[in-house]
Amino acid sequence: MDPRTVITDGEGILGIELGSTRIKATLIAPDAAPIAHGSYTWENRLENGVWTYDMAAVHTGLSACYHDLVGNIELEHGITLSMLAGVGISGMMHGYIAIDDRGKLLVPFRTWRNTITSEASERLTELFNFPVPQRWSIAHLYQAILNGEEHVHRIKRITTLAGYVHYLLTGKFVIGMNDASGMFPVDPQTGSYYSAMTEVFDKVVKRSGVPWTVGDILPEILKAGTPAGKLSKAGVSIIDPENNLKPGIPLCPPEGDAGTGMVATNSLRKRTGNVSAGTSVFAMVVLESPLAEVHSEIDMLVTPDGSPVAMAHSNNCTSDLDAWMSLFRDAAGYLGHEVSLDFVYKTLLPLALEGDSDAGGVLTYGYISGEHMTGFEEGRPLLVRDPARDFLLPNLIRAHLFSALGAMRIGLDILTENEGVTVEEIRGHGGLFKAPGVGQRIMAAATVTPVRLQESAGEGGSWGMALLAAYMVNGFQRKTLIEYIDAVFSGTETSVVEPDGRDVEGFREYFDRYKRGLPIERAAVEALRG
């Protein structure tokens, strides 16, 4: 479709995703073809032992990201964007945003990255007979109650980052099914929070004297394709302070980044899986049947259209690798060769394929934060090596890439070996796949599964969110979400990398070293505490 006509006629559909390091916006045509992009870089910070983002940065980032999108449209097409057919908001899943009766935050936003709710996580998992990871909103809420935090008596609502931004733009406290399932357990059969679990939770916390029930404060769940409110005048002033954008634009249910990843990789059918590998890494597998046992390491979620999903999530993936890449760029500068960070990635990451299969005795832990999968509430990035083997750059790069997937592999082993879950193919997206072929090959070795990259998956979560908004605008009355996304991906070019025997064996040796070396990481945390 002609982009100028789409923009002028107000037929464009906008997806915005608030990710760990960037806020991204993608404008698509009704046929799902991307028209323009915008972005804004931001970063979480550790304050008083809590990983958080300043909510002022949410306002700043939204408007800056949208302004970048509009500027790119004006530069490319000479048109000022003023009307849209639909909008969708996505964000990092889980975490804790508690709001009072005036819509104000009661405590700073507690992100998914925090590992400060172990007591609540363990108690709720036992109480519900259902895995409740530390990241989940209900774990944060219960931990606040256990801690005797004063603000819990003044809670009007709790929500996620995507749900909060959606509220700012529309005034509606609603949430998509996938994002909701990372707050409180969702029943795939009903599409609602498990009623037996809400009743049990209310009985347990009643003795704390809270004046609400959990059903009162959780957002309403909406299935993919359901209209979820309209952009208000107040919302326009947040996203577009210049007020060129018209209010009244419909929004679809806000979703989590896991849900948009499934959409952006067409991984909604049973026995399909996708891996998002960036600041964190998680593998999502759409299940054929429920798991036989409760595993605290595994998240039980649902797709945006309500199918059960098992997720193996690791808090840490590429952050320490990114720090090393920045160090190499700085080293080149000191040596008189100014190079871009992008050049460093494209030049150094392929070296991993030249290293020894097991990374030459090098062992790294990229634990910037705690890692629930291996039982760490704090992290210390760490490098250890075998002095009897040559310390080579290809092995260092390979070790960082292997280590980025180590914790996730523990969760995948639970699914495939303990539960017999079948994954026919992994579809990848995220920063780990920056260098063509490298991340794909390393992921295939770590998962022992073919890894497919789809050309359009590079558009990322904001594109996946735009697709969910497009499904609301022109698809949900005629097709299921799976049928709609299948049609979008029809004819899309893909590349598949099969597991290489040498890489698989090398990762197995490295993974064994990774598990044996965890006491070293534990000693580093204890020795360098505070």
Q: Which residues pair with 274 in a beta bridge?
A: 284, 427
- H/E run at residue 75: helix 55-77
Alpha helices per DSSP H over 405-517? 406-413, 438-447, 461-474, 481-489, 501-516
Crossing angle of helices 319-334 and 393-404, in 10° steps, is 150
Interatomic CA distance for residues 92 and 113, integer angstroms: 10
Q: Which two tokens stand for residue 240?
A: 């577009």
Q: pLDDT tens track of the chain, all 530 residues?
A: 799 999 999 999 999 999 988 999 999 999 999 999 999 999 999 999 899 999 999 999 999 999 999 999 999 999 999 999 999 999 999 999 999 999 999 999 999 989 899 999 999 999 999 999 999 999 999 999 999 999 999 999 999 999 999 999 999 999 999 999 999 999 999 999 999 999 999 999 999 999 999 999 999 999 999 999 999 999 999 999 998 999 999 999 999 999 998 999 899 988 888 888 888 888 999 998 888 899 988 999 999 999 999 999 999 999 999 999 999 999 999 999 999 999 999 999 999 999 999 999 999 999 999 998 999 989 999 999 999 999 999 999 999 999 999 999 999 999 999 999 988 889 888 778 877 789 999 999 999 999 988 765 555 789 999 999 999 998 766 789 999 999 998 877 788 999 999 999 999 999 999 999 999 999 999 999 86
Interatomic CA distance for residues 32 and 30, integer angstroms: 5
Backbone φ, ψ for residue 405 (5° rounding): -110, 5
Interatomic CA distance for residues 257 and 274, integer angstroms: 12
401 DSSP 8-state letter? H
Q: How far is CA 30 from CA 33, 454, 456, 476, in A?
A: 7, 20, 16, 13
- H/E run at residue 202: helix 195-206
CB 264 within 8 A of CB 455: no
Number of helices (H), then strands (E), belonging to the chain: the values are: 19, 22
Q: How many CB atoms lie within 10 A of CB 527?
A: 8
Interatomic CA distance for residues 334 and 273, integer angstroms: 43
Crossing angle of helices 406-413 and 501-516, in 10° steps, is 100
Residues in the chain: 530
